[in-house]
Structure 1
Amino acid sequence: MEAEENEPTSQRTKRVRRQEILEKKKAADDIIRAASSQKDHLSSFPQYRHYRTNGLSVYLGSGLGDKLSFHLKQYIQKLLKVNMEGPYGSEWPTEEKVKRKEMVAPEARYIFVYEDTNVDGSQISSMPENEKSSSHTDAIVGFVHYRFIMEEEVPVLYVYELQLESRVQGKGLGKFLMDLVERIAIKNRVGAVMLTVQKKNLLAMNFYMAKLGYIVSAISPSRVYPLD
């Protein structure tokens, strides 16, 4: 106690500041750990299990990156290729390898979109994940891949992919899914929802910025390296 009383003001200030930084980091790590430990974020939002509008009827299910069935992996790879090969152009073969690794990471969380055809969505939502994945892969029409990570010492929900088949686009489904993602982020007390969009992907840029109100982050490569 006497040593602390005799401690110079500058050293005391540094010590207090260091302690504050450590406590802040621990709090952020605890948020990421708690959010990532949940297996089914959809369970907190039963009102988002179904989406029926504009002639479209779908229901949602959850998934984990390291628990994907073979058929689900194939579907994800196929849809990524269909939707992303064009925007990436000659860079796609390299990017595809990256995305295949990202796809099955233990920290990857998924929302799968199933077309509501012969099976009642309320029945599907209560099925085990492996049963949904193996039995109803043909009915999938899209997915969201997201994770809880740290960006600039802030816990965020990062959307790695939002991919929909062309026949279900333009019906409000993308906005519905992003609204759900934002609610998941709020419930898990993260600081922001972040994602990456290629500048030349004008449709996606318009969707996120004009329709949803997203802004370009201060740490975006387009701002850090504006000439690149």
Structure 2
Amino acid sequence: MVNVKKQPRKTRRQQQADRRAVAIKLVNLANGVEQPLPLAFQKFVSKDGTNYEISCSRATSLPAETLSWIFSLMEKNMKRPYQESPWGWDAEKKQAELSDPAALHLVATSNGQNVGFSHFRFDLDDDKEVLYCYELQLESVARRKGLGRFMMHALETMALQNQMQRVVLTVFKNNATAVPFFHALGYKLDSTSPQGSDAQHYVILSKQNLSRAD
């Protein structure tokens, strides 16, 4: 009879290191995909018959005028909420964030005009592989037509296809439009969201990829 030597059980730290290594590999693979947006999400027709085209590009591949519009829309929609929060509005920091080489952007156009964008990244969050939605911003003309919901569905599908555990996002608590919008899409309080203080001005929400175990 041959004695088989038992392999020593891995410590919790070793297990966490292994899990992190897997997460890093998945994030790197996702970031290596040249065009992560599925063909089915490159066109959208709203209930009122408006046609939209959706593209996905790295910030470094976008024309300067598109990046300029992205920042302008961000400033128009979000400057005041930032100013009213403890974070404040830092235009230089926000421009750097939106144009960072790691940033990916969905850009929605209609009749050749930019009408909405989503800044997202494949990244690690709390040592888990996630698609992090940094921004979803629409021009007023494109709101309440289902475009925002469609773009979120596109992000969720890209997360699924690239084996991310969840889609994560941060939202100001007092954003009376965004909070119920994300709740209606099934987003719930994430375990990383700040706890224990009514003074916290933001929450972190997430939606689990049901094909993946935590």
Identify whether the pair has TM-score above 0.5, normalized to the shorter chain. Answer: yes
Q: TM-score by structure 1 length?
A: 0.78
State whether residues 82 and 89 of structure 2, in contact with CA within 8 Å, keep that contact through their aligned partners in structure 1: no
Q: 1:151–1:19: structure 2 CA closer, same or farther, 3 Å change rule?
A: same
Structure whose residues are more often helix by fraction: 1
| Structure 1 CA distance for aligned equivalents of residues 82 and 131 of structure 2 | 24
Structure 2: 5+ residue stretches without partners = 201-214
SS of 2:177's equivalent in the other structure is: helix
| Structure 1 CA distance for aligned equivalents of residues 88 and 126 of structure 2 | 30
Q: TM-score by structure 2 length?
A: 0.83
SS of 2:123's equivalent in the other structure is: strand
State whether residues 83 and 89 of structure 2, in contact with CA within 8 Å, keep that contact through their aligned partners in structure 1: no
State whether residues 23 and 128 of structure 2, in contact with CA within 8 Å, keep that contact through their aligned partners in structure 1: yes
Structure 1: 5+ residue stretches without partners = 118-135
Aligned twin of 2:26: 31
| Structure 2 CA distance for aligned equivalents of residues 107 and 194 of structure 1 | 16
SS of 1:202's equivalent in the other structure is: coil
Aligned twin of 1:203: 177
Match of 1:152 among 114, 126, 144: 126
| Structure 1 CA distance for aligned equivalents of residues 78 and 89 of structure 2 | 12
SS of 2:172's equivalent in the other structure is: coil
Aligned twin of 1:73: 67
Q: How does 1:4-153 map to 2 (within 5 A)?
A: 12-13=8-9, 15-42=10-37, 45-55=38-48, 56-89=50-83, 94-115=89-110, 117=111, 139-153=113-127
Structure whose residues are more often strand by fraction: 2
Post-superposition Cα deviations, 1:162-216, rounded to whole Å, max 9, x if no partner, equal: 111011100011111111110100111011100010001110001001x211111
The RMSD of aligned alpha carbons is: 2.3
Q: 1:23–1:93: structure 2 CA closer, same or farther, 3 Å change rule?
A: closer
Post-superposition Cα deviations, 1:17-61, rounded to whole Å, max 9, x if no partner, equal: 44433321211110000001113111xx21211111222210111
Match of 2:191 among 218, 222, 227: 218
Aligned twin of 2:211: none
Which has more radius of gyration? 1
Q: What is the percent sequence identity of the aligned residues?
A: 29
After TM superposition, give the deviation of residue 72 of structure 1 in Å: 1.1
| Structure 2 CA distance for aligned equivalents of residues 18 and 74 of structure 1 | 45
| Structure 1 CA distance for aligned equivalents of residues 22 and 94 of structure 2 | 30
